[in-house]
Amino acid sequence: MPNFTYTDWILIETQFDPEQLQSKETVFTIGNGYLGTRGSFEEGYPHASPATFINGVYDDVPVVYTELVNCPDWLPLIVIVNGDRFRLDQGEILHYERQLDLRQGLLTRALRWRSPSGNTIDISFERFASLADPHVLALRCHLTPVNFEGLIEVQASINGYPENQGFNHWEGLDQGKIDQGIWLQRRTRTSRIELGMAAKVTISGSEASLQVNTAPGYPTLSTSFVAKAQQTVTVEKIVTVFTSREIETPVKAAQEKLAHLPDYTTLLKANEQAWNQVWQQSDILIEGDSTATFAVRYNLFQLLIAAPWNDDRVSIPAKTLSGFGYRGHIFWDTEIFMQPLFLFTQPAIARNLLSYRWHTLAGARRKAIHYGYKGAMFAWESAETGDEVTPRWAIGSDFYGEDVRIWCRDREIHINADIPYAIWNYWQATADDEWMQKYGAEVILDAAIFWSSRVEFNPEREKYEIRGVIGADEYHELVHNNAFTNRMAQWHLEKAIAVYDWLVHKFPERATELEAKLQLTSQETSHWQDIIAKILFLYDPSTELIEQFDGFFQSEDINLADYEPRDRSMQAILGVDQINKYQVIKQPDILMLLYLMRESADFPYNEKALQTNWDYYAPRTDITYGSSLGPSVQAILASDLGKSTEAYEQFMRALMVDLEDNRGNTRDGIHGASAGGIWQAVIFGFGGIQLTENGPVANPHLPPGWTRLKFKLHWQGKWHDFDLKGLGDEGAGGVGEAGGAGEELITNAPCPMPNAPCPIPNIQGFIFDLDGVLTDTAELHYLAWKKLADEEGIPFNREANEALRGVSRRASLMLIIGNKPYSEAQIQEMMERKNRYYIELIQNMTPKDLLPGAIALLDELRQAGIKIGIGSASKNAQTVLERLGIVDKVDAIADGYSVQEPKPAPDLFLYAAKQLGIKPEQSVVVEDATAGIDAALAAGMWAVGLGPVERVGAAHIVLPSLAGIKWADLRDQFSKISANIFKVSNSFQ
């Protein structure tokens, strides 16, 4: 980092560099979600770019339609020492240190300055935007003369003439003075948003009186006092701000708020407490990598201070609230890259972000009408109303050069599916049916209506096409049948049908209301079904290689290594027109599609497809200077593929994009999408989080050197704690834990194994398989497989079904189909079909379906303080337990979603033990299948086999069933076995 050092929580700048003034202003941004203030200096500099942005305060501007407005500057605090104005570019800096404390959003600066006249003074500043009260801003300055006694003057002002890079959006209305303070009233020129700001100053450590100067647009509180050497004078400036977006009389509100505020110290404490609560939910702890420890938190901080905590009419701009880049416009960056952090740690914010899209539906509908389409067509860049605000032209720096047409506004339409994607994920993660039926469903359905009017049917191909688009890769500005766009549209229509069916069954009145409002007919939904079945998707089913768009493979290939070293994008090197002819990609497009389909394993995602498409597209991606959205996604996918070195390299590229200004544009604002991608890379990439019916589960592959990764996730109303351990410098890896810090790692203990010494067993928990142990779902599985096999014309009977006992769904299907040639997509569909049949059958289960002895043993174990877990390969374990009425008797569930390797691998039972908080040697597994017994023994656990010896004979204890079985009898048998093992072991010593 340039001139930076850092601790786990604090960024420290140790040298003032005027050349980096604007980029450092971005880096040291503070905020509270209502507003953001760049890290400009209180004393002001000619080449500085100070700004305070209030979310939602937009105003019109020529060429670029509208922009987030730079609001009046609350920072100015001028210090004059014996006639010399304090400035870092005059006099001499003897000491300098600036710190950003992420824990409480506190920016401080401490320095020793020798004035041109030779007076040395210690000056410190600190400021914060209160997270406890978003309308409160505070600044404190300590002044301590070192070697002189003399006159110090202080001027604290509000600057009512802020500019957006040369354009002033404000017109003056009024200003004045109040008790110990000043106030300013301003209004934006076109949008007519009124702003009221008030400020007061208190001074301690010296006798000083305040004077008010109300120069037009620049109200100022000033004071002067005689300062003595080594005595500190403290100046505190507290500011309040409101706009007419949230209250009718913002000036009055600012004045009243200011009059009733407590002192600076009390405000600072409240702010710290508010931040503590936020970090309790959103923090990520990394041990073993000091750079990542701080930088991950820094990226999270920058998103948290830009998030709308209390307003569902705004979203997060691409450059957050930290800079002038992209004019404060909202892109797909928010839904796809930033939202997951909030979805899983601050779900109320995630809801606000999506509600913004509902509030802006009218603008999306106007855009659709403009282009001649139906439904809602979301803007590529949007602001307050949802109307398209992408500039039509980019004005170049070359005075004689041609202006560049920006085609994204017309052609980059995948955002219309990206927003529903985020809404669907919010619904899955929160089960917020009320919000979904009131708001989310309307967005999904109206945006789906757009696709049905946008696709074209090609009778020669007998396929629906989407022509004339820009995909996620913006280097190619006019393509047909972009795979990302076509598949996302197809996915969107699939989910729209599901949402519509859900509404009809659960909220029929709302369904009827939307049918009328959106003119949604059965013909429309039938059309959706037809599009889903016939949309064109260009890929080779034998290799799983996807063609990015029609004709991409016929474009000229390129070797990016031939252009190294370089410090700019391939588009800048080749030119806008030429780059369209090459197979060079701005950011992941096909790989982005695979990432979005990864969590649910929807087509076209599978491991083979990922490997094939990575090998083709990753080398053709301008990952260094293309788009900042790319590195985090590639880090996750590289991690999936076991490319730990490359994963970490791309992760660091994303992680340090602003702290090291490695793209040279940090001055324009924080790279918000990259910051959101960092969270996803840590959680879904290195943490390996997978979302299951029972909540999130970790399958970690931590980078080399990471010894610990700790975080929490919110899923369907519950918090899940993860404390993952790595292998330090020895290599990547890790063990997933759900629980608090300080727990032991899972290790395969030899205690129950028949060739090792063992004391009297200290059994703490039982892990039961479901099928054939607590209940008999084998018949239901058989009926479901039989129905599928009959439909496919595959011979299948009860004898063949025996081979499926204890085997995963995929492995079972492979045994059934044998050598028949099926594509991966067909295999996925058949597994889902079988599961659907099985779920239909288990709906008829009741507690009467518990096997003899099961409930009695469960109750006895619980009374004895023994923990109970389920270890089942089924992905429907939770549903079965609910139907059997024994959920309250179970402490942990490990099912088909919990681990990747099925039985006979030990992973499932090791996971269950860890969930129970017990060691493997303290665990008893009860199983009825060979694979399950082998898995238990491999895990170093005690095994009880139910069934014939030829199937479960390797178990420590073999029983015909659980009927009549008592815990006391089992405990005695395990003690005898343990004693015998111990004797045998000693006889060989």
Structure tokens at 449: 């209506």
771-799 average pLDDT score: 88
Would you say 29 and 321 are in contact if contact means Cβ atoms under 8 Å apart? Answer: yes
521-529 average pLDDT score: 96
Question: Distance (Å, rounded) from C-alpha 267 to C-alpha 274?
Answer: 11
The more confident residue out of 806 and 580 is: 580
In 355-441, beta strands by DSSP E? 393-394, 404-405
Q: Is 730 helix (H, G, I), strand (E, B) or coil?
A: helix
Residue 100, pLDDT > 60, answer: yes
Question: Distance (Å, rounded) from C-alpha 648 to C-alpha 704?
Answer: 9
First-to-final CA distance of the chain:
59
**Considering only CA atoms, which of 716, 726, 723 is closest in space to residue 691?**
716
Residue 738, pLDDT > 50, answer: no
pLDDT-derived band of residue 806, with 50, 70 and 90 as boundaries? low
Which entry of 43, 126, 381, 474 is annotated as an active-site residue? 474
Structure tokens at 23: 């980029």
Cβ count within 10 A of residue 663: 20
Q: What is the pLDDT of residue 981?
A: 55
Give the DSSP letter of residue 20: G
pLDDT digits (tens, 9 = 90+) for 193-243: 999 999 999 999 998 889 999 899 999 999 999 999 999 999 999 999 999
C-alpha angle 526-531-532 in degrees, rounded to nearest 5 = 95
Catalytic residue status for 474: yes
What is the residue-averaged pLDDT of the chain?
A: 91
Most confident of 376-385, 753-762, 883-892: 376-385
Residue 900, pLDDT > 90, answer: no
Candidate from 61-65, 95-99, 232-236, 364-368 with smallest mean pLDDT: 61-65
Residue 749, pLDDT > 80, answer: no
Candidate from 61-65, 748-752, 785-789 with smallest mean pLDDT: 748-752
pLDDT-derived band of residue 801, with 50, 70 and 90 as boundaries? confident
**Considering only CA atoms, which of 285, 278, 259, 268 is closest in space to residue 200?**
259
**Which residue do the tokens 């050497």 mark?**
229
Q: Is 377 helix (H, G, I), strand (E, B) or coil?
A: coil
**Which residue do the tokens 């990302």 mark?**
484
pLDDT-derived band of residue 823, with 50, 70 and 90 as boundaries? confident
pLDDT digits (tens, 9 = 90+) for 527-576: 999 999 999 999 999 999 999 999 999 999 999 999 998 989 999 999 98
What is the reported pTM?
A: 0.76
Question: Distance (Å, rounded) from C-alpha 315 to C-alpha 306?
Answer: 9
Distances (CA, A) of 965 to 787, 799, 852, 891, 944: 36, 30, 10, 21, 12
**Considering only CA atoms, which of 471, 475, 508, 507 is closest in space to residue 488?**
471
Q: Which long-range contacts (CB under 8 A, 24 or more apart) does 572-579 make?
A: 572/625, 576/404, 576/477, 579/475, 579/476
- Is the C-alpha dihedral spanning 571, 572, 574, 578 positive or negative? positive
Question: Distance (Å, rounded) from C-alpha 425 to C-alpha 419?
Answer: 10
Q: What is the pLDDT of residue 362?
A: 98
pLDDT digits (tens, 9 = 90+) for 930-989: 989 999 999 999 999 998 888 888 899 999 889 889 998 898 888 888 766 544 443 333
Q: What is the pLDDT of residue 844?
A: 86
277-287 average pLDDT score: 97
pLDDT digits (tens, 9 = 90+) for 391-412: 998 877 677 878 888 999 999 9
Question: Distance (Å, rounded) from C-alpha 622 to C-alpha 569?
Answer: 7
- What residues contact residue 368 under an 8 Å CB cut-off, 6+ apart? 374, 375, 376, 377, 450, 453
Residue 870, pLDDT > 60, answer: yes
**Considering only CA atoms, which of 317, 18, 37, 306 is closest in space to residue 158?**
37
